[in-house]
Homo-oligomer: A and B are copies of this chain.
Amino acid sequence: MSELRKDLITGRWVIIHKEGRRTKKRLPSQSLAKPKDEKDCPFCPESISDIKEKELLSYRDQENRWSIRVVPDKFPIVDSEGELDKEGVGVVYDRMNSIGSHEIIIESPMHDQTLDTLPYDQLEKLIWAYKERFLKLKENKTIKHILIVKNYGKTAGGLVIHPHSQLIALPIIPKSINEELAGSKKYFGFHQRCVYCDIIYEELRKPKERIIFNNNYFISLVPFAPRFSYETWILPCTHNSSFENISDQEIKNLASILKDTLTKIKINLNNPGYNLILHSGPLKENYLPEYHWHIEIMPKLYRSTGYEWGSGVYINYTFPEKAAQLLRR
Protein backbone atom coordinates (compact mmCIF):
# COMPACT_ATOMS: atom_id res chain seq x y z
CA MET A 1 0.00 0.00 0.00
CA SER A 2 1.27 3.39 -0.90
CA GLU A 3 -0.25 6.79 -0.34
CA LEU A 4 -0.08 10.25 -1.80
CA ARG A 5 0.62 13.14 0.54
CA LYS A 6 0.38 16.80 -0.24
CA ASP A 7 2.93 19.33 0.91
CA LEU A 8 0.85 22.07 2.50
CA ILE A 9 3.10 24.89 1.36
CA THR A 10 3.90 24.15 -2.28
CA GLY A 11 0.98 21.83 -3.08
CA ARG A 12 3.48 19.20 -4.26
CA TRP A 13 2.20 15.62 -4.05
CA VAL A 14 4.65 12.93 -2.94
CA ILE A 15 4.22 9.17 -3.21
CA ILE A 16 4.99 7.56 0.13
CA HIS A 17 5.58 3.89 -0.44
CA LYS A 18 6.10 1.01 1.93
CA GLU A 19 9.57 -0.38 1.49
CA GLY A 20 8.95 -3.13 -1.05
CA ARG A 21 11.01 -5.77 -2.67
CA ARG A 22 12.40 -3.27 -5.11
CA THR A 23 14.05 -0.75 -2.88
CA LYS A 24 16.54 1.75 -4.09
CA LYS A 25 20.16 0.87 -3.47
CA ARG A 26 21.58 2.52 -0.36
CA LEU A 27 24.43 4.91 -1.12
CA PRO A 28 27.63 4.40 0.90
CA SER A 29 28.08 6.05 4.27
CA GLN A 30 30.65 8.79 4.55
CA SER A 31 33.97 7.71 5.94
CA LEU A 32 35.02 9.76 8.91
CA ALA A 33 37.60 12.37 7.99
CA LYS A 34 41.09 11.63 9.19
CA PRO A 35 43.22 14.43 10.50
CA LYS A 36 44.88 16.05 7.49
CA ASP A 37 44.03 13.38 4.99
CA GLU A 38 44.30 16.03 2.31
CA LYS A 39 47.75 17.51 2.09
CA ASP A 40 46.72 20.71 0.45
CA CYS A 41 43.42 21.47 2.13
CA PRO A 42 42.69 25.06 1.11
CA PHE A 43 40.67 25.71 4.26
CA CYS A 44 43.20 24.71 6.93
CA PRO A 45 44.79 27.62 8.85
CA GLU A 46 48.29 26.69 7.76
CA SER A 47 47.22 26.63 4.13
CA ILE A 48 49.27 28.93 1.94
CA SER A 49 46.30 29.24 -0.41
CA ASP A 50 45.73 32.64 -1.95
CA ILE A 51 42.33 32.92 -0.32
CA LYS A 52 44.16 34.41 2.68
CA GLU A 53 44.19 37.87 1.22
CA LYS A 54 40.51 38.05 0.47
CA GLU A 55 38.98 37.35 3.86
CA LEU A 56 35.44 38.72 4.14
CA LEU A 57 34.93 38.00 7.83
CA SER A 58 36.64 36.12 10.63
CA TYR A 59 36.29 35.58 14.34
CA ARG A 60 39.70 35.53 16.01
CA ASP A 61 41.08 34.99 19.48
CA GLN A 62 43.69 37.10 21.24
CA GLU A 63 46.51 35.27 19.47
CA ASN A 64 44.87 36.15 16.13
CA ARG A 65 43.90 32.53 15.44
CA TRP A 66 40.56 32.34 13.66
CA SER A 67 37.70 30.07 14.68
CA ILE A 68 35.32 30.98 11.81
CA ARG A 69 36.40 32.41 8.52
CA VAL A 70 34.52 33.62 5.44
CA VAL A 71 36.31 33.89 2.09
CA PRO A 72 35.16 34.26 -1.52
CA ASP A 73 34.79 30.99 -3.39
CA LYS A 74 37.83 30.43 -5.60
CA PHE A 75 35.65 29.48 -8.58
CA PRO A 76 32.50 31.51 -7.98
CA ILE A 77 29.31 30.70 -9.85
CA VAL A 78 28.43 34.41 -9.86
CA ASP A 79 30.51 37.53 -10.50
CA SER A 80 31.04 39.76 -7.50
CA GLU A 81 31.69 42.94 -9.44
CA GLY A 82 29.96 44.82 -12.20
CA GLU A 83 26.59 46.37 -12.82
CA LEU A 84 23.50 44.25 -13.19
CA ASP A 85 22.66 44.21 -16.86
CA LYS A 86 19.32 42.76 -17.90
CA GLU A 87 18.56 42.23 -21.55
CA GLY A 88 16.04 40.59 -23.79
CA VAL A 89 17.26 37.92 -26.18
CA GLY A 90 15.34 37.64 -29.41
CA VAL A 91 11.68 38.46 -28.92
CA VAL A 92 10.81 36.27 -25.96
CA TYR A 93 13.80 35.45 -23.76
CA ASP A 94 15.42 37.21 -20.80
CA ARG A 95 18.90 37.02 -19.45
CA MET A 96 21.08 39.01 -17.08
CA ASN A 97 24.66 38.80 -16.02
CA SER A 98 24.88 37.02 -12.72
CA ILE A 99 26.12 39.55 -10.20
CA GLY A 100 26.17 38.39 -6.61
CA SER A 101 28.42 36.77 -4.09
CA HIS A 102 29.61 33.20 -3.69
CA GLU A 103 31.34 32.69 -0.38
CA ILE A 104 32.80 29.86 1.66
CA ILE A 105 32.15 29.86 5.38
CA ILE A 106 34.85 27.75 7.01
CA GLU A 107 33.13 26.29 10.03
CA SER A 108 36.19 25.37 12.05
CA PRO A 109 39.98 25.57 11.80
CA MET A 110 40.05 21.82 12.46
CA HIS A 111 40.15 19.70 9.33
CA ASP A 112 38.57 16.56 10.75
CA GLN A 113 35.47 18.01 12.39
CA THR A 114 31.93 17.83 11.12
CA LEU A 115 29.02 20.14 11.89
CA ASP A 116 27.69 17.73 14.54
CA THR A 117 31.04 17.29 16.29
CA LEU A 118 31.65 21.02 16.71
CA PRO A 119 31.01 22.32 20.26
CA TYR A 120 27.78 24.25 20.83
CA ASP A 121 29.58 27.57 21.13
CA GLN A 122 31.36 27.03 17.82
CA LEU A 123 28.00 26.44 16.13
CA GLU A 124 26.73 29.64 17.71
CA LYS A 125 29.63 31.50 16.18
CA LEU A 126 28.85 29.94 12.82
CA ILE A 127 25.25 31.15 12.96
CA TRP A 128 26.50 34.58 13.98
CA ALA A 129 28.73 34.58 10.90
CA TYR A 130 25.77 33.68 8.67
CA LYS A 131 23.81 36.55 10.20
CA GLU A 132 26.64 39.03 9.79
CA ARG A 133 27.07 38.12 6.11
CA PHE A 134 23.31 38.42 5.53
CA LEU A 135 23.28 41.90 7.06
CA LYS A 136 26.35 43.00 5.13
CA LEU A 137 25.12 41.71 1.77
CA LYS A 138 21.70 43.24 2.37
CA GLU A 139 23.34 46.64 1.87
CA ASN A 140 23.93 45.71 -1.76
CA LYS A 141 20.65 46.50 -3.46
CA THR A 142 21.46 44.30 -6.47
CA ILE A 143 21.23 41.19 -4.32
CA LYS A 144 17.70 39.88 -3.90
CA HIS A 145 18.22 36.66 -2.00
CA ILE A 146 20.78 34.64 -0.05
CA LEU A 147 21.01 30.87 0.17
CA ILE A 148 23.16 29.06 2.71
CA VAL A 149 23.99 25.60 1.46
CA LYS A 150 25.97 22.76 2.94
CA ASN A 151 26.88 19.66 0.94
CA TYR A 152 28.22 17.11 3.39
CA GLY A 153 29.88 14.02 1.98
CA LYS A 154 30.71 12.90 -1.54
CA THR A 155 27.26 11.45 -2.19
CA ALA A 156 25.78 14.90 -1.55
CA GLY A 157 28.23 16.67 -3.84
CA GLY A 158 30.69 17.71 -1.13
CA LEU A 159 34.14 18.19 -2.67
CA VAL A 160 36.30 19.42 0.21
CA ILE A 161 36.31 17.54 3.52
CA HIS A 162 37.25 20.46 5.76
CA PRO A 163 33.93 21.58 7.33
CA HIS A 164 32.43 24.49 5.41
CA SER A 165 29.21 25.87 4.06
CA GLN A 166 28.56 28.02 1.02
CA LEU A 167 26.72 31.28 0.76
CA ILE A 168 25.17 32.12 -2.59
CA ALA A 169 23.78 35.64 -2.99
CA LEU A 170 21.83 36.16 -6.19
CA PRO A 171 20.08 39.00 -8.03
CA ILE A 172 17.01 36.77 -8.38
CA ILE A 173 14.78 34.75 -6.05
CA PRO A 174 15.46 31.01 -6.46
CA LYS A 175 12.58 28.94 -7.78
CA SER A 176 12.07 26.87 -4.62
CA ILE A 177 11.81 30.02 -2.51
CA ASN A 178 9.41 31.56 -5.00
CA GLU A 179 7.24 28.46 -4.75
CA GLU A 180 7.21 28.65 -0.96
CA LEU A 181 6.42 32.37 -1.09
CA ALA A 182 3.55 31.83 -3.54
CA GLY A 183 2.14 28.87 -1.59
CA SER A 184 2.34 30.55 1.78
CA LYS A 185 0.83 33.77 0.39
CA LYS A 186 -2.12 31.77 -0.93
CA TYR A 187 -2.57 30.07 2.45
CA PHE A 188 -2.34 33.40 4.25
CA GLY A 189 -4.90 34.93 1.93
CA PHE A 190 -7.30 32.18 2.86
CA HIS A 191 -6.63 31.75 6.58
CA GLN A 192 -4.88 34.99 7.58
CA ARG A 193 -2.32 32.75 9.25
CA CYS A 194 1.23 31.69 8.39
CA VAL A 195 1.24 28.15 7.00
CA TYR A 196 4.48 27.30 8.79
CA CYS A 197 3.09 28.53 12.12
CA ASP A 198 0.07 26.30 11.51
CA ILE A 199 2.33 23.34 10.74
CA ILE A 200 4.25 23.87 13.98
CA TYR A 201 0.98 24.13 15.93
CA GLU A 202 -0.34 20.98 14.29
CA GLU A 203 2.86 18.99 14.84
CA LEU A 204 3.04 19.95 18.52
CA ARG A 205 -0.35 18.34 19.19
CA LYS A 206 -0.28 14.79 20.50
CA PRO A 207 0.99 12.25 19.41
CA LYS A 208 3.83 14.40 18.04
CA GLU A 209 4.72 11.55 15.75
CA ARG A 210 6.85 13.52 13.30
CA ILE A 211 8.84 15.57 15.82
CA ILE A 212 12.50 14.82 16.48
CA PHE A 213 13.32 17.64 18.93
CA ASN A 214 11.71 20.77 20.19
CA ASN A 215 12.71 23.48 22.61
CA ASN A 216 11.11 26.85 23.34
CA TYR A 217 12.62 28.40 20.26
CA PHE A 218 12.93 25.68 17.61
CA ILE A 219 11.38 22.48 16.42
CA SER A 220 12.98 19.79 14.25
CA LEU A 221 10.66 17.39 12.47
CA VAL A 222 10.14 15.13 9.49
CA PRO A 223 7.58 16.96 7.31
CA PHE A 224 4.21 15.40 6.50
CA ALA A 225 5.04 14.97 2.79
CA PRO A 226 8.83 14.60 2.57
CA ARG A 227 10.45 14.15 -0.84
CA PHE A 228 13.36 12.16 0.58
CA SER A 229 13.79 9.46 3.21
CA TYR A 230 14.49 11.10 6.57
CA GLU A 231 14.14 14.63 5.19
CA THR A 232 14.18 16.92 8.23
CA TRP A 233 13.18 20.54 8.74
CA ILE A 234 14.18 22.87 11.56
CA LEU A 235 11.78 25.78 12.13
CA PRO A 236 11.85 28.71 14.56
CA CYS A 237 8.76 28.66 16.80
CA THR A 238 8.37 32.43 16.64
CA HIS A 239 7.14 33.78 13.34
CA ASN A 240 9.91 35.46 11.36
CA SER A 241 10.31 35.55 7.59
CA SER A 242 13.94 36.66 7.46
CA PHE A 243 16.81 34.69 8.93
CA GLU A 244 18.84 37.85 9.53
CA ASN A 245 16.35 38.91 12.21
CA ILE A 246 17.32 35.91 14.36
CA SER A 247 17.71 36.90 18.03
CA ASP A 248 20.62 36.10 20.35
CA GLN A 249 18.49 33.62 22.27
CA GLU A 250 17.44 31.97 19.03
CA ILE A 251 21.05 31.65 17.89
CA LYS A 252 21.89 29.81 21.11
CA ASN A 253 18.93 27.46 20.69
CA LEU A 254 19.46 26.91 16.97
CA ALA A 255 23.05 25.85 17.64
CA SER A 256 21.76 23.33 20.13
CA ILE A 257 18.92 21.83 18.05
CA LEU A 258 21.08 21.78 14.91
CA LYS A 259 23.87 19.84 16.62
CA ASP A 260 21.44 17.45 18.27
CA THR A 261 19.49 16.80 15.07
CA LEU A 262 22.60 16.23 12.96
CA THR A 263 23.96 13.90 15.63
CA LYS A 264 20.77 11.82 15.46
CA ILE A 265 21.04 11.70 11.67
CA LYS A 266 24.68 10.64 11.81
CA ILE A 267 24.17 7.94 14.45
CA ASN A 268 20.84 6.53 13.35
CA LEU A 269 21.51 6.61 9.62
CA ASN A 270 25.19 5.61 9.80
CA ASN A 271 26.77 8.91 8.78
CA PRO A 272 25.05 9.61 5.48
CA GLY A 273 25.91 12.44 3.13
CA TYR A 274 23.38 15.27 3.28
CA ASN A 275 22.42 18.62 1.83
CA LEU A 276 21.41 21.36 4.22
CA ILE A 277 19.73 24.51 2.90
CA LEU A 278 18.66 27.59 4.80
CA HIS A 279 15.46 29.03 3.32
CA SER A 280 14.89 32.70 4.04
CA GLY A 281 12.67 35.39 2.51
CA PRO A 282 13.63 38.04 -0.04
CA LEU A 283 16.25 40.47 1.32
CA LYS A 284 14.17 43.56 0.65
CA GLU A 285 11.37 42.31 2.91
CA ASN A 286 12.08 42.66 6.61
CA TYR A 287 8.82 41.13 7.65
CA LEU A 288 6.35 39.05 5.69
CA PRO A 289 3.33 37.87 7.70
CA GLU A 290 3.01 34.76 5.50
CA TYR A 291 6.57 33.45 5.25
CA HIS A 292 8.76 31.69 7.82
CA TRP A 293 12.48 31.08 7.45
CA HIS A 294 13.69 27.53 8.13
CA ILE A 295 16.35 24.92 7.47
CA GLU A 296 15.83 21.82 5.31
CA ILE A 297 18.16 18.82 5.70
CA MET A 298 18.06 16.13 3.03
CA PRO A 299 20.05 13.00 3.90
CA LYS A 300 21.38 11.47 0.70
CA LEU A 301 20.60 7.81 1.25
CA TYR A 302 19.54 6.85 -2.25
CA ARG A 303 20.43 7.94 -5.72
CA SER A 304 17.66 10.07 -7.21
CA THR A 305 16.15 8.34 -10.21
CA GLY A 306 16.55 11.54 -12.13
CA TYR A 307 13.05 11.67 -13.39
CA GLU A 308 12.00 12.59 -9.87
CA TRP A 309 13.14 16.17 -10.20
CA GLY A 310 12.33 16.12 -13.89
CA SER A 311 8.73 15.21 -13.27
CA GLY A 312 8.25 16.62 -9.79
CA VAL A 313 6.92 13.23 -8.67
CA TYR A 314 8.97 12.12 -5.68
CA ILE A 315 8.81 8.58 -4.40
CA ASN A 316 9.80 8.16 -0.78
CA TYR A 317 10.16 4.66 0.64
CA THR A 318 10.16 5.76 4.29
CA PHE A 319 6.97 6.85 6.02
CA PRO A 320 7.73 10.12 7.84
CA GLU A 321 6.27 8.87 11.13
CA LYS A 322 8.65 5.88 11.03
CA ALA A 323 11.52 8.12 10.01
CA ALA A 324 10.96 10.44 12.98
CA GLN A 325 10.65 7.46 15.33
CA LEU A 326 14.00 6.12 14.16
CA LEU A 327 15.69 9.52 14.28
CA ARG A 328 14.50 10.14 17.86
CA ARG A 329 16.24 6.95 19.05
Chain A positions near chain B (C-beta within 8 angstroms): 1-6, 8, 10-13, 15, 17, 20-22, 74-75, 77-79, 89-98, 147, 149, 151, 156-157, 159, 168, 170-172, 174-179, 198-199, 202, 205, 224-225, 273, 275, 277, 296, 298, 300, 303-307, 309-313, 315
A92 touches B202 (CB 8 A): yes
From known contacts A224-B93, A306-B157, infer whether A174 and B275 are also in contact, taking CB-CB under 8 Å. Answer: no
Check B224–A13 contact: CB distance below 8 A: no
A175 touches B10 (CB 8 A): yes
Q: In the complex, are the beta carbons of A179 and B312 less than 8 A apart?
A: yes
- Cβ contacts under 8 Å, A94 to chain B: 5-6, 8
Q: Which residues of chain B are near A1, meaning CB under 8 Å?
A: 79, 97
Residues of B within 8 A of A298 (CB): 306, 310
Contacts of A315 in B (CB 8 A): 77
Main secondary structure, interface of A, reads mixed
Nearest 3 Cβ contacts at the A-B interface: A175-B312, A157-B305, A176-B312
Copies per complex?
2
Contact: A98 with B177, CB < 8 Å?
no
Give the contacting residue for A75; candidates B22, B74, B157, B273; CB below 8 A.
B22
Report yes or no: A75 in contact with B175, Cβ–Cβ below 8 A: no
CB-based contact A151/B313 at 8 Å = no
**Chain B residues within an 8 Å CB radius of A205:** 90
Cβ–Cβ contact A174 & B95, under 8 A: no
Q: Is the CB of B21 within 8 A of A147?
A: no
Residues of B within 8 A of A306 (CB): 151, 156-157, 273, 275, 298, 300
A311 pairs with B6, CB closer than 8 A:
no
Per the bound structure, the CA–CA distance linking A297 and B91 in Å amounts to: 25
A192 to chain B, nearest CB (A): 14
> Contact: A175 with B92, CB < 8 Å?
no
Q: Is the CB of B149 within 8 A of A307?
A: yes
- Given known pairs A90-B202, A177-B312, A310-B277, the reply for A15 and B157 (CB within 8 Å) is no
